[in-house]
Chain A
Amino acid sequence: MKRATVQGGGHTDRGQGCRKNLQPTTLIRSRCLVPGKKLFLSQSHYLFLFFLLGTFSLPGRAVEPSQGADNDTCLACHSDKTLSTKRGAQTVSLFVDGKKFSASVHSGLSCTSCHADLEGKDLPHDTPLKKVNCGTCHTQEYEQHSRSLHGKAVARGDPLAPRCVDCHGNHDILPIKDSRSAVAPLKVPFVCGRCHREGTPVQTSRKIDQHDILENYSESIHGEGLLKKGLIVAPNCASCHTPHSILPHTDPNSSIARRNIATTCTKCHAQIEEVHRKTIKGELWEKKSHMLPACVDCHQPHKVRKVFYTQGMADADCLRCHSNEHLKSSDGRVMFMRASEVAGSRHAKVACSQCHSEVNASRVRPCETITHKVDCASCHAEIGQLYQRSTHGQLLAKNDPNAPTCKECHGTHHVLGRHDPQSFTFATNVPTLCGRCHREGQKAALRYVGTQHEIIQHYTESIHGKGLLKSGLTVTATCNNCHTAHSVLPTSDPNSTVNPKNLPATCGACHHGIQEQFVQSVHSTLITKTDKELPVCSDCHSAHSIRRTDEAGFKLDIMDRCGRCHEQIAVTYFETYHGKVSRLGYTKTAKCYDCHGAHDILRVTDPRSHLSRANVVATCQKCHATATRRFAGYLTHATHHDPKKYPFLFWSFWGMTVLLIGTFLVGGVHTLLWLPRAIQMRRKLRAAEEREKAASSLSPEQASTSAAEDD
């Protein structure tokens, strides 16, 4: 700032710009230089010109003599180190180092090329001179600057506003690639930092949101790269803010505006969206930038380091209002946010604005620009995709009021990881969580039309439910282990984990050994090619009421389960001893799987089968320790109703039946014929007894006499 006043009349342009835009010859011929004109310079100006002459005469420099002569005229006065003038209260040196000028990018120019108001003037000239207009040559930069924050401040007459010279210097401007240049990459932070560091008038009296900019930058990964490692490709201030188009981030044209920030960062971090694909879907990067947090939401400006994400951009600003317990929205919703909820959550290190994106920090209420609900998928992109394909997500897409969104299961600010016992999604809490909707009578259960009912209750009583809730085994399968957490789909959906096609793999996630056996068995679709439906885990074990297989309930039920498909086999099983005993409710007898195997069922013709010729005796011996091969000839599925397959049994049965019917016929007819005769006989006997009784009551003496005789 001070320098700006001191060097008020200096050149402020970069050599590069001039070279690019105008050829030296053109410069000479047209506007920059007018040879032969007499300059009227003050004493000091003459000194300056002399100095310039000397400089240009140096070997290796192609300088036109006429020019040198002009500049020499100026240096005649301005090479005097003591030449100075008073501006207000300050003494300003008017010394021009001819040596430095001749080394500068502008060495090919005459003094009047910049100090155009001296053109044709008598020397010594009047003071003060007009300010040099670098824009005469550096048109583009000049325009950028004049539209920028800095340029506007200049236009306002802000005494702190930086002009070209404040950054570039005046007579000693060097090419940017020259490390001695004032705006060489390594120096830029300090050039900017002259104003933008703590304690400067700019930082204290002008509205600048960022603090400790230079310090933070120098500690950031960018600053470290540049300043400590000397990587001149590391970004400096101008890399993000541009050299001349410096605009506030609230300006939509600014390189650091929310919608441009990604473009700015990707100038260097090309394809960074590929890296962030997990958290930010690549295609959302530009299409839906409003859905996404901007780079700076996570990677704080100026603090870009490994410690990034630690602080919210404006958490404190949010809490200024939202820590008020009585805060309500216009439609009456409670807008109070307990800071401790987030602090204790998985998102403790996530800033408010990372989820509640679209905030605009330049507003008094930064949140008033928010138009969308929190989209968790902006970070949890993969999960978001799964959710969208799930039944839950499909309901949401249809705007179904019953549709559960992320927060229904995970909560809002107090999101906890699924390994936190306090979390809704902790294994032991999952049945309750899902039960909120899927318990009988609740909204999901009401709209459900399938065959599974009282799901939660059945689950609780199942082996999984008991394992989880009674034994507290958090590794036990709970809802999401089978149905997944985010890809919940109905059984009928071929992508569902509980679709029969996928179920063996789903159960196999834990019961791997069983799955290995199962996929080799006759029930596996890999082995048996049929258009009939083959059973999967749930057909025998059920879905939600899975029981212990070593308890009576399962053991007795399994025959009926097998019998649903193997109807005839089950019927005949129940005609034999094993089946009859099991019908009585006892399990200590051969059940389907005792002979056929449970998951490793193979065709009897398969030599590996439990019932193959080689193995059958051993299979019988599991129960009948001394079983022989002939004993194994017992027909476990025999029926006496099949004369072709089991003629022995058929004829035995009918032989016995004929005997039985014959005997009963004879006996029955005999008895039935006898019955009326017997009744007749009984009547006669009764009548005779009646008569006898009557006779004895007529002569009681006789009776007593006979009794006495007996004595």
Chain B
Amino acid sequence: MATEVEIRAPEGQMTSRQLAERKAPEREFVRFTRLQRTLHACMIVSFLSLALTGLSLKFSYTGWAVTLSHLVGGFQTAGFIHRTAALVMFGTFITHLVDLYRLKKQEYGSWRKLLLGPNTMLPTRQDWKQFAATMKWFVGAGPRPQYGRWTYWEKFDYFAVFWGIFIIGSSGLTLWFPIFFTHFLPGSFINVATIIHSDEALLATGFIFTVHFFNTHLRPEKFPMDTTVFTGHVPLAELKRDTPLEYEALVASGQLEAYLEEPQPEIVVKTIRVFAWIALGIGFSIVVWIIYAMLFAYR
């Protein structure tokens, strides 16, 4: 909350009349497109649904699981929700791949430019360097590195999703259609798929709801929330501070102006915050639940 006050400090001092009169406040840098933001929201909804319904089965020995299962209308409904959410996530993933193709076609012209350009999502030598520099900074042996468009931890998160979708998705499909899969796999592979599916899910949920939450939303300098991924906008000051390399590159190429937009309307921001808080709340609850189930009630 404190950060919010700070960020909004200039507006907070204005009267509502003044606010209405103000046509162009500080414009913000557009970091994510509308489609990317929508896909992230879809990810959140489907991921949380998958986590809740899936973990209720994994931790069926806890009272919470039983309550939750009944809350959603029984294990059959839970299973239905789980599969629907899985489809949504597959859809999200495919849409993203299609979007990448569009991006290649419309903005980069070739895969090489997309994948090997300065804004690539693929890990580069610079990422390793920055990782090393970050470690130095962490231990007080150097300054904070100058990060570019995508930091190494963002790239890690991005590919973790690829990995997760592949592992959880494939094992999930095996469990969804066991009779089909056992036409060419032994029956015990369903057992293996169960272990992989459930443990990988544990990894995904655990990682997202702790490390990812911290890295991108809960870092003290952004606490309690970084809404960039929902609004798509980064205040210029933050852009300069967090990813100075990108800022500099934009200024140097003179493209910065093209990426500046007016801030999202207040109502949109507020709605986004409510949504994000709910998602965060569910995420943290799941973490607490996992810790309880794994450490105190494990059987």
Give me the interface of A with B, judged by CB distance under 8 Å.
571, 574, 576-577, 579-581, 583-586, 588-589, 624, 626-628, 630-635, 638, 640, 646, 648-649, 652-653, 656-657, 659-660, 663-664, 667-668, 670-671, 673-675, 677-679, 681-682, 685-686, 689, 693, 707, 710-711
Contact = CB atoms under 8 A, between A and B. Distances in A.
Contacts of B24: 710
A158 B214 CA distance: 132
27 contacts: A574-B299, A576-B194, A583-B66, A584-B56, A584-B66, A585-B66, A628-B179, A628-B182, A633-B187, A638-B188, A649-B188, A652-B195, A653-B195, A656-B199, A656-B203, A660-B199, A663-B207, A664-B206, A673-B135, A673-B138, A674-B138, A674-B214, A679-B220, A681-B144, A689-B6, A693-B9, A710-B22
A638 B6 contact: no
Contacts of A664: 203, 206-207, 211
Given A580-B60, A670-B211, A677-B138, A682 B299 contact: no
Contacts of A659: 199, 203
B292 interface: no
Contacts, number: 148
B190 interface: yes
Contacts of B211: 664, 667-668, 670-671
A579 B190 CA distance: 15
B210 A667 contact: yes
Interface string B184-208: 0111101110111001101100110
B188 A634 contact: yes
Nearest to B24: A710
Contacts of B196: 652, 656
Contacts of A660: 199, 202-203, 206
B57 A580 contact: yes
B262 to A, nearest CB: 12
A576 B191 contact: yes
B183 interface: yes
A640 B188 CA distance: 12
Contact of A634 (B70, B153, B191): B191
B34 interface: no
A664 B144 CA distance: 24
Contacts of A648: 188, 191-192
Given A574-B61, A652-B192, A673-B138, A707 B182 contact: no
A580 B23 contact: no
A664 B200 CA distance: 12
B58 interface: yes
B195 A581 contact: no
A635 B66 contact: no
A640 B199 CA distance: 12
Contacts of A710: 22-25
Interface size class of B (residues with CB under 8 A): 35 or more
B16 to A, nearest CB: 14
Contacts of A646: 188, 191
B57 A584 contact: yes
Contacts of B175: 577
B58 A673 contact: no
A649 B195 contact: yes
Nearest to A675: B220
Contacts of B138: 673-674, 677
B174 to A, nearest CB: 11
A678 B194 contact: no
B215 to A, nearest CB: 7
Interface string B13-32: 00000100111110000000
B178 A585 contact: no
B69 interface: yes
A631 B178 contact: yes
A90 B215 CA distance: 150
Given A585-B69, A674-B138, A681-B221, A635 B18 contact: no
A624 B153 contact: no
B65 A584 contact: yes
Contact of B21 (A633, A634, A649, A711): A711
Interface string B71-85: 000111000000000
Nearest to B61: A583
B139 interface: yes
Contacts of B57: 577, 580-581, 584
B155 interface: no
A689 B186 CA distance: 64
A634 B190 contact: yes
Contacts of B199: 653, 656-657, 659-660
B210 A671 contact: yes
Contacts of A640: 195
A673 B186 CA distance: 45
Nearest to B211: A667
Q: Which 5 A-B pairs have the closest CB atoms?
A: A633-B187, A656-B199, A667-B211, A673-B138, A583-B60
Interface string B135-164: 101110000100000000100000000000
B223 to A, nearest CB: 7
B183 A628 contact: yes
Given A628-B179, A660-B202, A677-B137, A707 B60 contact: no
Contacts of A657: 199
A581 B182 CA distance: 22
B219 interface: yes
Contacts of B202: 660
Contacts of B187: 630-635
Given A656-B195, A674-B219, A681-B221, A633 B69 contact: no
A635 B190 CA distance: 8
Interface string B48-69: 0000000011101100011001
A579 B271 CA distance: 41
Interface centre among A648, A671, A673, A707, by most chain B C-beta atoms within 10 angstroms, is A671
A635 B18 CA distance: 70
B244 to A, nearest CB: 14
Given A584-B56, A649-B195, A660-B202, A673 B69 contact: no
B35 to A, nearest CB: 28
Contact of B75 (A586, A634, A686): A586
Given A649-B191, A678-B220, A681-B144, 6 more contacts: A574-B61, A576-B191, A584-B57, A634-B182, A635-B187, A711-B23
B203 A631 contact: no
Contact of A581 (B6, B60, B70): B60
Nearest to A571: B299
A585 B187 CA distance: 26
Nearest to A625: B179
Nearest to B203: A660
A681 B188 contact: no
A580 B58 contact: yes
Contacts of A586: 69, 74-76
B191 A707 contact: no
Nearest to A659: B203
Contact of A667 (B58, B75, B182, B207): B207
B195 A627 contact: no
Nearest to B7: A689
Nearest to B135: A673
A652 B210 CA distance: 25
A682 B221 contact: yes
B299 to A, nearest CB: 7
A627 B221 CA distance: 56
Nearest to B192: A652
A630 B200 contact: no
A585 B70 contact: yes
A290 to B, nearest CB: 70
Contacts of B66: 583-585
A588 B220 CA distance: 48
Contacts of A589: 75
A711 B58 CA distance: 59
A588 B21 CA distance: 63
A630 B220 contact: no
A74 to B, nearest CB: 124
